[in-house]
């Protein structure tokens, strides 16, 4: 290390490294001076109402853009931001501040202050939710002051963005083709900036702390998202080593544990542009192909041929692998403007997933099944199709009957088709309890830990007040996973996992021990997970799993994992 070289420690959130030139990002949220004579309260309240409407329009537009460019799951954060904009407590606080003589921008800043401070005083993921509030606050203030938004999408090529913090709106603007990485003083692995970084495969280090502001604009830095370091003025040797380590991580062939048990490591895909990078990062196939992107940014649903072409393209990218396509999963936090989706008091417990496919969207379901069965015959890879949010055996049997009817219709028409593997997403406690009956009727089960944790823990995924409960390492969720794996194997079905948990290298050994046959994740984490699978011993991993399953608390589970690492 040279005399000028300095390594700043933080939390790495992507197993990638990047070298570039520092660009500091510090958004301006300057507030006007309150007038001495007070304000016209009615006028300021109207300005606030107009800003709220404009903010919602911006958020809806950004949500659609992020769903297309990053993924549907990541875009859901903007739905939560809309809820903050509409929050009645914040509205009342703004009105009170206006009545006390503050202009609308100042009133907004004051109204959010207590909420932000309260979240910052909490632990873990709850503290990171303060950034969501800042994001909404700063958007409203910008709209009220006619401020200009910094365009992070057009930074010079090779930029490394440094900031006190990056909000979801900030991170969503970053172009992986231009930005070599980013580092922030605050934040953790579960912050939205970190999640976006993994989806975009951007090298990133968060939580660097008070030393970060000492790094000057224009400095050369290395962002090591694997080691969790920001290296200032890296040596040529360090640059070469980082580049070599990043390339060496990719394992193009399937992997087995140290004692010979093969485990499929696949990628989650939410848009066509993610297929090729998934193959480049060594994914064995696609374990979750989200079809919602085909229905976005359109005025009407995509036709059979459009869908067929997209599915064949994915299959051709993995000629020796498997592509698991999830049928249309809308409702809850996933909305498509041209479909007649009901306004529900609790949409996560309402009409979504397979429930819509079997009733109001039956025509869309038939079209999608036709495209899928045709693609199974025409594509190079092996197609598997899974149904989302199945809660009952009756729902599964109805879906399977639809597949049979579509196959019979294609036969009558003389259209080439094939029957793919069929499976069920395990996302509800009900599905866990009847997993044996489900497995007896399908080829595979795939555990969606994001929703499963939500329903097992009765903790909404986008409700920041219960964010700590939304963790698959809680004993109740782990036991649901084990029960599903055992039921699947007893029914001769293979069992996979396609939630965020599958892509966490720190729990790979635990998942091996729980008996999973397949793990699917953001493509950027595929090499790390493959490396950990290759070094795992199934007997040792099984012991780790048994200890975790016997734990009474999440803290006990985390302590046990830490002791074994």
Q: What confidence score (pLDDT) does residue 248 get?
A: 46
pTM value?
A: 0.72
Nearest-angstrom CA–CA distance, 354 and 388: 6
Mean pLDDT over 362-368 rounds to 96
The larger pLDDT score, comparing residue 123 to residue 116, is at: 116
Region of poorest pLDDT, from 373-377, 462-466, 525-529, 549-553: 462-466
Phi, psi of 273 (to 5 degrees): -65, -15
Domains 41-145 and 258-564 share a fold: no
pLDDT band at 16 (very low <50, low <70, confident <90, very high): confident
Other C-beta atoms lying within 10 Å of the C-beta of residue 189: 18
Its CATH architecture, for the domain 6-27+150-248, is 3-Layer(bba) Sandwich (3.50)
Q: What are 203-234's pLDDT values in tens digits?
A: 999 989 999 999 999 999 999 988 899 999 99
Report the run of H or E that residue 54 belongs to, with start and end: helix 41-69
Residues in CB range of 442: below 8 A, 6 or more apart: 396, 400, 422, 423, 424, 493
Q: What confidence score (pLDDT) does residue 151 get?
A: 81
Entry field: residues in the chain: 565
Region of poorest pLDDT, from 112-126, 251-265, 392-406, 518-532: 112-126
Phi, psi of 180 (to 5 degrees): -85, -10
Nearest-angstrom CA–CA distance, 385 and 378: 15
Nearest-angstrom CA–CA distance, 398 and 401: 5
Nearest-angstrom CA–CA distance, 416 and 376: 9
Q: Six-digit token pair at 136?
A: 């909404």
User: CA of 374: how far to CAs of 117, 310, 378, 540, in Å?
Assistant: 55, 12, 6, 44
pLDDT band at 350 (very low <50, low <70, confident <90, very high): confident
Residues in CB range of 401: below 8 A, 6 or more apart: none
Query: Annotated active-site positions, please?
Result: 192, 498
Q: What are 80-121's pLDDT values in tens digits?
A: 788 888 888 899 999 999 998 999 999 999 999 888 887 776
CATH topology of domain 258-564: TIM Barrel (3.20.20)
Give the domain ranges of the chain.
6-27+150-248, 41-145, 258-564
Report the run of H or E that residue 443 belongs to, with start and end: none
pLDDT band at 564 (very low <50, low <70, confident <90, very high): low
Mean pLDDT over 259-273 rounds to 91
Instruction: Give me the CATH code for the 41-145 domain, please.
Output: 1.10.274.10
Other C-beta atoms lying within 10 Å of the C-beta of residue 541: 24
Residues in CB range of 459: below 8 A, 6 or more apart: 453, 466, 467, 469, 470
Mean pLDDT over 52-56 rounds to 93
Report angle CA 301, 270, 159 to the nearest 5 degrees.
125
Q: Using H for helix, E for strand and C for coil, what is the string for 167-215?
A: CHHHHHHCCCCCEEEEEECCCCCCCHHHHHHHHHCCCEEECCCCCHHHC
Q: What are 133-142's pLDDT values in tens digits?
A: 888 998 899 8
Mean pLDDT over 172-181 rounds to 87
Helix (H, G, I), strand (E, B) or coil at 149: coil
pLDDT band at 194 (very low <50, low <70, confident <90, very high): confident
Residue given tokens 């963005």 in the structure block = 161
Q: What are 418-442's pLDDT values in tens digits?
A: 999 999 999 999 999 999 999 999 9
Q: What confidence score (pLDDT) does residue 358 get?
A: 96
């Amino acid at each position: 290390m040279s005399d000028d070289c300095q390594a700043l420690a933080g939390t790495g959130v992507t197993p990638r490294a990047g070298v570039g030139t520092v660009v500091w990002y510090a958004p301006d949220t300057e507030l006007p001076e309150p007038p001495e004579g007070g304000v016209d309260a009615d006028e300021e309240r109207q300005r606030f109402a107009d800003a709220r409407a404009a903010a919602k329009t911006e958020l809806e537009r950004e949500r659609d853009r992020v769903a297309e460019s990053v993924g549907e799951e990541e875009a859901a954060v903007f739905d939560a931001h809309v809820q903050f904009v509409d929050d009645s407590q914040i509205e009342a606080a703004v009105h009170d501040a206006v009545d006390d003589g503050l202009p609308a921008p100042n009133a907004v800043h004051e109204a959010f202050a207590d909420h932000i401070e309260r979240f910052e005083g909490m632990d873990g993921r709850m503290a990171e939710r303060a950034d969501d509030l800042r994001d909404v606050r700063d958007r409203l203030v910008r709209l009220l002051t006619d401020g200009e938004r910094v365009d992070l999408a057009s930074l010079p090529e090779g930029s490394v963005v440094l900031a006190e913090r990056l909000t979801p709106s900030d991170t969503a603007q970053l172009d992986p083709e231009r930005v070599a990485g980013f580092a922030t003083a605050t934040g953790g692995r579960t912050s939205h900036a970190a999640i976006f970084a993994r989806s975009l495969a951007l090298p990133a280090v968060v939580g660097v702390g008070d030393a970060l502001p000492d790094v000057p604009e224009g400095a050369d830095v290395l962002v090591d998202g694997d080691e969790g370091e920001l290296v200032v003025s890296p040596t040529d040797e360090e640059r070469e080593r980082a580049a070599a380590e990043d390339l060496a991580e990719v394992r193009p062939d399937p992997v087995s544990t140290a004692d010979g048990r093969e485990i499929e490591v696949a990628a989650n895909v939410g848009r066509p542009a993610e297929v090729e990078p998934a193959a480049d990062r060594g994914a064995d196939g696609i374990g979750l192909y989200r079809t919602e992107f085909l229905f976005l940014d359109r005025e009407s649903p995509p036709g059979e041929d459009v869908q067929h072409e997209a599915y064949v393209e994915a299959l051709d990218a993995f000629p020796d692998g498997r592509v698991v396509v999830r049928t249309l999963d809308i409702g809850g936090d996933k909305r498509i403007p041209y479909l007649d989706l009901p306004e529900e008091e609790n949409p996560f417990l309402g009409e979504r997933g397979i429930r819509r496919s079997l009733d109001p969207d039956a025509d869309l379901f038939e079209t999608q099944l036709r495209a899928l069965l045709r693609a199974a015959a025409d594509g190079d890879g092996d197609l598997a199709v899974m149904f989302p949010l199945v809660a009952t055996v009756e729902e599964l049997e109805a879906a399977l009957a639809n597949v049979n009817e579509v196959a019979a219709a294609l036969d009558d028409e003389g259209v080439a088709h094939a029957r793919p593997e069929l499976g069920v997403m395990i996302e509800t406690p009900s599905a866990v309890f009847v997993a044996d009956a489900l497995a007896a009727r399908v080829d595979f089960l795939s555990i969606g830990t994001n929703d499963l944790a939500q329903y097992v823990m009765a903790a909404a995924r986008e409700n920041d007040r219960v964010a700590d409960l939304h963790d698959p390492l809680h004993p109740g969720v782990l036991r649901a996973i084990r029960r599903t794996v055992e039921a699947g194997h007893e029914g001769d079905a293979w069992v996979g996992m396609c939630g965020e948990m599958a892509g966490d290298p720190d729990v790979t050994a635990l998942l091996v021990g729980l008996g999973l046959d397949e793990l699917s994740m953001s493509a950027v984490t595929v090499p790390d997970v493959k490396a950990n699978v290759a070094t795992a011993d199934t007997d040792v991993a099984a012991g780790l799993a048994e200890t975790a399953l016997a734990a009474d608390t999440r803290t006990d589970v985390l302590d046990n994992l830490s002791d074994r690492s």
